[in-house]
Amino acid sequence: MQKEHSTPKNSLSLLHRPRRLRRTEPLRRLIREHQLTVNDLIYPLFVREGENQQEEITSMPNCYRYSLDLLLKEIKEAFDLGINAIALFPMIPNSKKDDLGTESYNPDGLVQRTVRAIKKEIPEIIVITDVALDPFSPYGHDGIVKNGQILNDETVEVLVKMALSQAEAGADFVAPSDMMDGRVGAIRKALDAAGYINVGILAYSAKYASAYYGPFRDALESTPQFGDKKTYQMDIANAREAIKEVELDIMEGADLVMVKPALAYLDIIYRVRNFTNLPVVAYNVSGEYAMIKAAASYGWIDEKQVILETLTSMKRAGADLILTYFAKEVALLLQ
């Protein structure tokens, strides 16, 4: 090895030189503590009615609402890139929305048909379905609305029906994103009673009332028609409460626990990681995606590097799995 200093008297006498371990790329790879891999990725996708439809979402460049035929192509491509799991979100036509969200458990509804088709075409891919009323409700709220209030227990009854119909269609995991109290336990009980013991629950446990969901609500046209979601989603200023929510969901039978959003909540991911031995999931949400896309479109940041740095920060904070709209791009980058 080459000498750094021409004469020993030029050198400080330091016992520790951290830079010694950063000298070359192979050495940095050897020392690296966390690694983002394609195995960590869950790819969220939007499905709509129709055929041969692929509509770009304005606030989420390169994300689309796909009709089923084109969605299957997109999933096949993702699977071929090594992505093991997708999370499905439906855009429901206004004509099918009602305040009880009845379309959500229609056995021939958009989600149910889509899950069956995916399971027929690409049976190995893990399909995660969303359990919440917002795409199905004219109010855009995650629960049943009465006199301007979001009802808890009545909503849970509907969520149970929705989860059962998704399990029946072939979902591998149901993912309650609604933040009603007691829904994980009620869904677990109903799934077991119906014999779906292997259908898992990915619980949106620490889900904050965040402004980072804006682009997603554009995608599904599910922006709340009145008020906000602060009576059920968590206050952005709270951290201990996240642990309470995670603890309850685990006691109620969650298989995977999620923190959402991810980037502004890395401290929460870290705390949840230290609290539980269950896999921890982070949701790199639509607003986080949109910010990177927007800055990159001006040439203000290096998109690829920023994507990898952002997702690696979630791994470093303690996430095992990451839902990200960048999934395909990342799978390609990591190849």
Q: How far is the CB of 178 from ligand PBG (least distance, A)?
A: 6
In sequence order, the β-bridge partners of residue 45 are 88
Residue 213 binds ligand PBG (CB under 6 A): yes
Q: How far is the CB of 233 from ligand PBG (least distance, A)?
A: 6
Residue 132 binds ligand PBG (CB under 6 A): yes
Q: Which of 105, 136, 139, 216 lies at the binding interface for ligand PBG (CB under 6 A)?
A: 216
C-alpha closest to that of 258 among 248, 272, 277: 272
**Residue in this structure with the two tokens 């979001």, named with its chain if needed:** 150
DSSP secondary structure letter of residue 235: P
Q: Is 245 known as a binding-site position? A: yes
Write b or e for each residue in 217-252: b if 16 or more Cβ atoms lie within 10 A of its Cβ, otherwise e: bbbbebebeeeebeebbbeeeeeeebbebbebbbeb
**Piece of the chain touching ligand PBG by CB under 6 A; list 3-11, 126-134, 161-169, 240-248:** 126-134
Active site residue 207: yes
**Calpha distance 5→10 (Å, rounded):** 6
User: Which of residues 217 and 304 has its CB atom nearest to ligand PBG in the complex?
Assistant: 217
From the list 97, 229, 260, 293, the catalytic residue is 260
141 within 8 A of 155, measured Cβ to Cβ: no
Active site residue 3: no
> Helices 183-193 and 240-252 meet at what angle, rounded to 10?
20
User: Which of residues 149 and 197 has its CB atom nearest to ligand PBG in the complex?
Assistant: 149
Residue 119 binds ligand PBG (CB under 6 A): no
**Piece of the chain touching ligand PBG by CB under 6 A; list 15-23, 65-73, 101-109, 211-219:** 211-219
Q: What is the binding site for ligand PBG (CB under 6 A)?
A: 130, 132, 134, 142, 177-178, 213, 216-217, 229, 285-286
